[in-house]
Amino acid sequence: MSPVFQPDLLKDKVALITGGGTGICRGIALAFAAHGCDVAITSRKIEHLEPTRDELKARGVRAVAKVADVREPAAVNEAVAAVAAELGGIDILINGAAGNFICLAENLSSNGFGTVVDIDLKGTFNVSKAALPHLKVRGGSVINISATLPYLGTMGQSHAAAAKAGVDSLTRTLACEWGPLGIRVNGIAPGPIDGTEGVKRLTSGKSRASALTQCPLGRLGTVDDIANASLYLASEAASYVNGVTLVVDGGLWLRSARILGE
Ligand code: COA
């Protein structure tokens, strides 16, 4: 059997990656480009996009950057249509745009809760819906970036945990609705990924040390860990995988409950 990650694994494919200018999604974009995929990235801020777009082009693929807030369906529709026109379709969608902060529910406003739900959950819906007509044309793959937050009662994360639980539900529903159209819909739930905005925002020195102690593999994740999982799910190697959310956290969440006697 040939190795799975061939250099041309995603050759002739076009990927649209929301939040693709920075962090985990930048890593996915660069890995896809290294495997021959043309890539479009979106963000609310052009300054988050331009350096990554240039890095993508330097890998020899076509790359475009579009400013769009995933909360605004009209802006999303316009960006998706422009990407499909410029790159000749869309085969892969990564819903990576997300927002988060730590705040106990007691101190969180309705707008604060709703803002994160609007970005993470409604944003995933908005972009998926806009991309559907293009994904249908050749068949495709959607990957929703989720989180392990909803698996346990993660304090200070009522907003994000609820939003990501909704994302996982959307993954399962769309997998059933869009599977017959030749579109697989899966998710990835990353653990703490070193060097990302998420880890900067959500972990303190103490919680970082705790994650290192608790993780069965004894380390935080890397951007490449998530990029490799994305390559798998987006490629033909996962052609019978549909409706799952793949946890990529070294087994950390399994150890996150308190151990009796400790
Ligand atoms: N604690 C409590 N509430 C907060 C908050 C915090 N740290 N940050 C924002 N909010 C509340 C605001 O008070 C506001 O509610 P209010 O109107 O009742 O006061 C609401 O959330 C919206 O805030 P605003 O700053 O207007 O939203 P925004 O759309 O400009 O920004 C965020 C969205 C809040 C998610 C912002 O953190 C962001 O842009 N994040 C993007 C990057 C990111 O989070 N990456 C990490 C991914 S893991």
List the chain pLDDT tens, one digit each, 262 residues: 444 567 789 999 999 999 999 999 999 999 999 999 999 999 999 999 999 999 999 999 999 999 999 999 999 999 999 999 999 999 999 999 999 999 999 999 999 999 999 999 999 999 999 999 999 999 999 999 999 999 999 999 999 999 999 999 999 999 999 999 999 999 999 999 999 998 988 888 888 999 999 999 999 999 999 999 999 999 999 999 999 999 999 999 999 876 566 5
Query: pTM here?
Result: 0.96
For ligand 1, say whether the CB of 156 is within 6 Å of any of its atoms.
no
C-alpha 225 to ligand 1 mean position (Å): 28
Do residues 216 and 254 make contact, with C-beta atoms less than 8 angstroms apart? yes
Tokens standing for residue 34? 């290294």
- Check whether domain 14-247 has CATH 3.40.50.720, yes or no: yes
For ligand 1, say whether the CB of 89 is within 6 Å of any of its atoms.
no
Strands (E), 3-111: 14-18, 38-43, 63-67, 92-95
Nearest CA to ligand 1 atom 38: 99
Beta bridge partners of 17: 41, 94
Report the alpha-carbon distance of residue 75 to residue 173 in Å, rounded. 25
For ligand 1, say whether the CB of 109 is within 6 Å of any of its atoms.
yes
For ligand 1, say whether the CB of 2 is within 6 Å of any of its atoms.
no
Domain residue extents for the chain: 14-247
Pocket test for ligand 1, best of 24, 25, 115 (most atoms within 8 A of CB): 115
H/E stretch holding 130 reads helix 123-138
Do residues 119 and 42 make contact, with C-beta atoms less than 8 angstroms apart? no
